Amino acid sequence: MHPILQQLRAELQASADPRTLAGSQNFFKEEVKPYGVKVPRVNAIAREFYQRVKDLPKDEIFALCDDLWRSGMLEETFVACEWSERQLKHYTPEDFAIFERWVMNYVNNWASCDTLCNHTVGGFLERFPQFLPELKKWAGSNNRWARRAAAVSLIVPARKGLFLEEIFAIADLLLTDADDLVRKGYGWMLKAASQARQNAVFEYVMAHKAAMPRTALRYAIEKMPQELRERAMAK
């Protein structure tokens, strides 16, 4: 084990709180493996230890992230996401394969999925939009987390008004998905898009609401003005 990871894991164990550990599973339907560290403390530890690795080559930092992902420990995945996001200015097209491997092989809960995809994958796509078609492959995957990732990777770009065509294409592919966490993911994506492109998203919702599960519909229109929400929810 790399000495940095040994020290990091010792710090996470020392920061564990029995009550946090006891309540952690309540946020997930699937089984997770937490230390029981509160998220603000995890973030502080991630930032502190990043200062010890920040001068390493990106490939070495990603190798450390890979070890953190492979551990399966919830808080370690959050640290990996923090470190990989901080390498944004050093991303290259070849990094997509690494991020995809993490999504396909290691992500096993909504929190790790969203933390990775909102920032690391979303930031990558803003730099290299030629990879946007790859999200359609994720949306067609048998892996529920890859399907959610296809949507939540576009959350931050959506808030900026970016990639609206691709957002609607992903929503089309996930529209009738039976998995509630996937539905919430693409509903959240549409909600984020409505912050910058309200009218376009409203028109999309009205055109597709007959097929859209109510959970996704509520997410998509949550931030719209009351009059539009009422029109969207009216039978």
Residue-wise pLDDT tens digits, 130-161 = 999 999 999 999 999 999 999 999 999 999 99
Measured distance CA(224)–CA(14) in Å, rounded? 44
Domain ranges of the chain: 1-90
Q: Taking a C-beta distance cutoff of 8 angstroms, is the pair 160, 195 a contact?
A: no
More confidently predicted of 146 and 217 = 146
Look up the pTM and report it.
Answer: 0.93
In 3D space, the residue among 193, 148, 142, 188 whose CA is nearest the CA of residue 167 turns out to be 193
- In this predicted model, what pLDDT tens digit does every residue of 164-194 receive, in sequence order? 999 999 999 999 999 999 999 999 999 999 9
Given this model, what pLDDT does residue 235 score? 60
Topology of 1-90 in CATH? Answer: Leucine-rich Repeat Variant (1.25.10)
- In this predicted model, what pLDDT tens digit does every residue of 21-38 receive, in sequence order? 888 888 888 889 999 999
Q: Burial level of 225, CB count in 10 A (0-12/13-18/19+)?
A: exposed
Query: How many CB atoms within 10 Å of residue 206?
Result: 13
Phi/psi for 41 (5° steps) reads: -70, -40
Provide the total of helices (H) and of strands (E) in the chain, helices listed first.
Answer: 16, 0
Whether pLDDT at 42 is above 80: yes
Average pLDDT over residues 73-77: 98
Q: Taking a C-beta distance cutoff of 8 angstroms, is the pair 120, 158 a contact?
A: no
Q: Which residues, 6 or more positions from 193, have their beta carbon under 8 angstroms from its beta carbon? A: 154, 158, 159, 161, 164, 167, 200, 201
Whether pLDDT at 112 is above 70: yes
